[in-house]
């Protein structure tokens, strides 16, 4: 505004003057404008000059740093916010993990060393997540005096007296308090924010950090640029490196570009970091700072622990509840005796394996790297898995909610605390229901799609660490405006690295309507569109809030039934592409229901009896979810009710300690379980997916016969009234009983009524 006032004053003085004066006026105004714009972009101009134009030279490291930052120290923070992505996330994650890790020793002295911290910006950021006053001592170490002057001024203004600024070589850093004591294991928290790539002797640095970091509860946080090869190693698969791979152009271009500034993006630094320390969290991102969608600089966020920390509790859980040949191992070599065909070829080729033939079996001596699952801070819910090509086929979860009715299951399961049950994960709703209702000693949740287990992990971690209001907003209302903040600051410590990466990448899922995400969300979107085009959207909503069964039935018969059972919708439901991508119905299952009738008859028999039997407003929550896109407090799964939520949280989440999440096929999980170790199994419609006469079904039923205790049983549902695989169970010695078979559109089997039959097979 001062510019315009100056120009206006100038104009007032020279109004009515000659043409020459007018030219002078224009020149002066232009000079003022250029001066103002130049002042506004002065930080950026300094940044461009020092980073891209001014030569650095080949002096020693300290001289290069001082020459590089001398002229831009005062604008360093203003010009790095967009470039150095992930720093705030790394600090927020670190803060949440520190709080969780230090619950066991809250009075232990906490020292933070920020290596290469420069201007102290990281410490100021951290104060928002974990108060600076909570640290007994903070040390900022850097080799560049111009940046450290900015840091000292910053801390003086804040009045922080527990921070010491040290101008030292990072590879030889020494704290004043070590003068009289051995520094081994004395530091609780160390950070490297865009500094690891700038330190030449990184091997010595990481070795020194490993020596001084507390083995029990020490945490190392890193954010930096990186490049990586195209093919991940076995170690990288163990850690879980979603989106880590870089194309050849990106890999070589960024290594060469940053090398001009003596910044090394060679993979060796990160490789040694992940070799030296156990990975707790890892996230790989792309910085689009310069030209969005075109220029993509790879960067990563990483948290780790000392490899000497106690991982025995995790290893014990994994070994006792096996089901994964490679992942379920202790730090010592694991000797597993398995038929050769049971060992995935990928692991045979890459693990350190010694083979010795002993008859039909193979003795496999495996010493793989420990995965990130072994070092995570939270409870051992998720069992380790190594990423396989089949896992990458699943881009997201298919089911954001579970269709099967757990209330009907509970009528026949007769669950107690002595039971051990295997279930298909799906969205985890039914497994949580069993935990609330009966507290079984073990709940094995199995799903080949890792994203389904990511979803259940998120629910377990959120139940443990969030209040009921935030939890219901996420999974009841299906939206939370601050999900990303909750993910980093509250939920992340209890998530595996794999699950955290997935939800970080998909943090928009809770922005508006969670239940419209995933493949099943497409079916809900289509239903909304159909009702909107038919002009019955308000009637669909009224159905969900009808105060009586007669009112509910009237709305269904007069308004919604003619829309859903019209020939166009029925024709769409016949499509195998729509059945799979929107409804999760595979070809074999679709064929089974068509062998016994038409799609019209199946949909009619499914939907007609529901409105006249169950109250959608008060408990029959499945179809209100599809019509509204969210649950209501009076109509939702048990885990979303306040009593159910509190039951799962009670005694530090004791009921949730039963969960073991397997990312594998059912048959592989069964092969890893001990004989007679299961008493119950609920496999939903899983066997409908196989081709009649499939060898895999025979093998799976054999494994159920081995793993189930006498009197134990399997429950399943089917799209067929008489599924072909019933005979397989009978042939293997099970007693098979029909618990419900649909005979028409009169009586529903349960509150979903989506399947034509419900069965039990008892081992005798």
pLDDT tens per residue, range 281-306: 999 998 876 555 556 889 999 999 99
Considering only CA atoms, which of 60, 298, 282 is closest in space to residue 194? 298
Q: Which two tokens stand for residue 726?
A: 């019933």
pLDDT at 636 over 90: yes
- What pLDDT, on the 0 to 100 scale, is given for residue 23? 58
Mean pLDDT of 615-636: 94
Q: What pLDDT is recorded for position 11?
A: 42
* Residue that wins the pLDDT comparison between 213 and 564: 213
On whether the CB atoms of residues 633 and 476 are closer than 8 A, the answer is: yes
Q: Looking at residue 546, what is its pLDDT?
A: 95
In 3D, which of 493, 421, 307 has the Cα closest to residue 684? Answer: 421
Asked if residue 31 has pLDDT above 60, the reply is no
> Higher pLDDT residue, 349 or 764?
764
Structure tokens at 620: 């029959």
**What integer is the mean pLDDT of 433-438?**
98
What local confidence, expressed as pLDDT, does residue 334 receive?
Answer: 37
Quote the pLDDT of residue 598.
Answer: 85
Share of the chain above pLDDT 90, in %: 58
Per DSSP, helices labelled H in 608-665 are 622-628, 642-653
DSSP one-letter code for 420: E
Specify the length of the chain in residues: 764
Q: Is residue 347 over pLDDT 90?
A: no
Q: Is 59 exposed, middle or buried, given 0-12, 13-18 or 19+ CB atoms closer than 10 A?
A: exposed
pLDDT > 80? residue 125: yes
The H or E element containing residue 391 is helix 389-392
Q: Where are the domains of the chain?
A: 2-63, 73-306, 312-375, 518-628
pLDDT at 500 (0 to 100): 95
User: Is a pLDDT exceeding 60 seen at residue 358?
Assistant: no
Residue 165 to residue 114: CA distance in whole angstroms: 10
Which one, of 491, 484, 377, 480, lies nearest residue 89 by Cα?
Answer: 484
State how far the alpha carbon of 482 is from the alpha carbons of 287, 489, 503, 630, 647, in Å: 22, 11, 13, 18, 25
Banded model confidence at residue 695, pLDDT cuts 50, 70, 90: very high
* Range of weakest confidence among 352-356, 375-379, 548-552: 352-356
CB 324 within 8 A of CB 444: no
Mean pLDDT (whole number) for 73-86: 64
Based on C-alpha coordinates, what's the Rg of the chain?
31
Beta bridge partners of 716: 759
Q: What is the distance between the alpha carbons of residues 586 and 591, in angstroms, rounded to a whole number?
A: 9
- In this predicted structure, the answer to whether residue 327 has a pLDDT above a threshold of 50 is no
Query: Quick check: 437 and 412 in contact, CB under 8 A?
Result: no
Percentage above 70 pLDDT, the chain: 79
Can you list the positions of beta strands (E) in 137-233?
137-142, 163-167, 189-193, 219-225
Q: In the predicted model, is pLDDT for residue 356 greater than 60?
A: no
Q: Environment class of residue 10 by beta-carbon count within 10 Å: exposed (0-12), middle (13-18) or buried (19+)?
A: middle
Q: What is the mean pLDDT of residues 309-324?
A: 56
Pairing of strands 757-763, 734-741: antiparallel
pLDDT in tens, 181-196: 899 999 999 999 999 9
Mean per-residue pLDDT, 193-216: 95
CA-to-CA distance for 77 and 83, rounded, in angstroms? 10
What is residue 239's predicted lDDT score, i.e. its pLDDT?
78
CATH number for domain 73-306, candidates 3.40.50.150, 1.10.760.10, 3.20.20.70, 3.30.420.40? 3.40.50.150
How far is it, in rounded angstroms, from Cα 674 to Cα 119? 57
Distance from first CA to last CA of the chain, Å, rounded? 89
Q: What is the mean pLDDT of residues 229-252?
A: 77
CA 317 from centre of chain: 21
Q: Which run of H or E residues covers position 445?
A: strand 442-446
What confidence score (pLDDT) does residue 369 get?
62
What is the dihedral angle through the alpha carbons of 618, 623, 629, 632, rounded to the nearest 10 degrees? 10
More confident residue, 23 or 399: 399
> Where does residue 300 fall: left (phi above 0), alpha (psi -120 to 50 degrees), or beta otherwise?
beta
């Amino acid at each position: 505004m001062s510019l315009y006032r100056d120009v206006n004053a100038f104009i007032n003085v020279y109004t009515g003057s000659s043409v020459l004066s007018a030219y002078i006026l224009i020149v002066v105004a232009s000079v003022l404008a250029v001066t103002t714009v130049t002042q506004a972009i002065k930080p950026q101009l300094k940044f461009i000059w020092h980073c891209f134009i001014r030569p650095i030279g080949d002096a020693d490291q300290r001289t290069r740093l001082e020459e590089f930052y001398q002229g831009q120290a005062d604008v360093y923070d203003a010009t790095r916010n967009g470039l150095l992505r992930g720093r705030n996330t790394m600090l927020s994650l670190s803060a949440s993990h520190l709080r969780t890790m230090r619950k066991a020793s809250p009075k232990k002295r906490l020292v933070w060393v920020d290596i290469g911290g420069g201007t102290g910006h990281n410490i100021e950021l951290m104060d928002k997540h974990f108060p600076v006053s909570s640290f007994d001592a903070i040390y900022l170490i850097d080799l560049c005096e111009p940046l450290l002057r900015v840091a000292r001024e910053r801390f003086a203004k804040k009045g922080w007296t527990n921070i010491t600024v040290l101008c030292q070589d990072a590879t030889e850093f020494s704290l004043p308090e070590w003068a009289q004591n051995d520094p081994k294991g004395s530091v609780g928290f160390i950070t490297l924010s865009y500094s690891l790539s700038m330190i030449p002797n990184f091997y010595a640095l990481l070795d020194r950090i490993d020596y001084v970091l507390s083995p029990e509860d020490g945490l190392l946080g890193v954010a930096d640029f990186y490049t990586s090869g195209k093919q991940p190693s076995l170690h990288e698969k163990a850690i879980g490196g979603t989106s880590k791979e870089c194309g050849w152009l990106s890999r070589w271009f960024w290594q060469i570009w940053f090398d001009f500034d003596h910044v090394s993006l060679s993979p060796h630094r990160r490789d040694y970091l992940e070799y030296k320390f156990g990975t707790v969290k890892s996230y790989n991102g792309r910085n689009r700072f310069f030209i969005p969608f075109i220029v993509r600089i790879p960067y990563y966020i990483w948290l780790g622990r000392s490899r000497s920390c106690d991982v025995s509790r995790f290893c014990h859980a994994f070994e006792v509840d096996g089901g994964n040949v490679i992942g379920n191992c202790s730090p010592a070599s694991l000797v597993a005796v398995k038929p050769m065909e049971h060992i995935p070829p990928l692991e045979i080729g890459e693990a350190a394996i010694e083979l010795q033939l002993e008859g039909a079996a193979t003795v496999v001596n495996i010493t793989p790297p420990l995965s990130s699952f072994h070092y995570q801070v939270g409870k051992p819910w998720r069992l380790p898995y190594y990423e396989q090509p089949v896992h990458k086929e699943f881009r997201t979860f298919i089911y954001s909610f579970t269709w099967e009715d757990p209330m009907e299951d509970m009528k026949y399961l007769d669950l107690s605390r002595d039971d051990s049950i295997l279930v298909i994960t799906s969205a985890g709703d039914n497994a949580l229901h069993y935990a609330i209702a009966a507290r079984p000693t073990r709940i094995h949740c199995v799903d080949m799609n890792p994203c389904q287990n990511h979803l259940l992990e998120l629910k377990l971690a959120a139940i443990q660490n969030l209040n009921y209001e935030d939890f219901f907003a996420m999974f009841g209302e299906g939206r939370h405006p601050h999900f990303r903040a909750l993910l980093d600051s509250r939920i992340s410590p209890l998530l595996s690295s794999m699950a955290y990466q997935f939800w970080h990448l998909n943090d928009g899922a809770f922005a508006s309507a969670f239940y419209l995400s995933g493949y099943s969300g497409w079916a809900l979107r289509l239903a909304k569109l159909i009702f909107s085009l038919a002009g019955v959207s308000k009637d669909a909503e009224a159905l969900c809030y009808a105060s009586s069964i007669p009112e509910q039935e009237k709305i269904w018969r007069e308004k919604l039934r003619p829309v859903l059972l019209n020939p166009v919708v029925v024709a769409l439901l016949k499509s195998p592409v729509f059945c799979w991508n929107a409804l999760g119905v595979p070809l074999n299952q679709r064929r089974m229901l068509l062998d016994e009738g038409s799609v019209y008859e199946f949909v009619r028999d499914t939907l007609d009896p529901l409105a006249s039997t169950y109250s959608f407003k008060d408990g029959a929550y499945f179809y209100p979810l599809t019509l509204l896109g969210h649950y209501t407090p009076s109509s939702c799964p048990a885990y979303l009710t306040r009593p159910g939520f509190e039951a799962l949280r009670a005694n530090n989440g004791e009921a949730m300690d039963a969960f073991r999440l397997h990312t594998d096929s059912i048959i592989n999980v069964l092969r890893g379980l001990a004989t007679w170790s299961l008493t119950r199994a609920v496999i939903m419609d899983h066997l409908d997916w196989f081709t009649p006469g499939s060898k895999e079904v025979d093998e799976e039923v054999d494994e159920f016969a081995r793993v189930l205790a006498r009197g134990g049983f399997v429950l399943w549902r089917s799209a067929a009234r008489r599924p072909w695989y019933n005979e397989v169970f009978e042939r293997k010695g099970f007693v098979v009983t029909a618990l419900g078979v649909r005979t028409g559109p009169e009586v529903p089997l349960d509150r979903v009524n989506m399947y034509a039959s419900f069965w039990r097979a008892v081992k005798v």
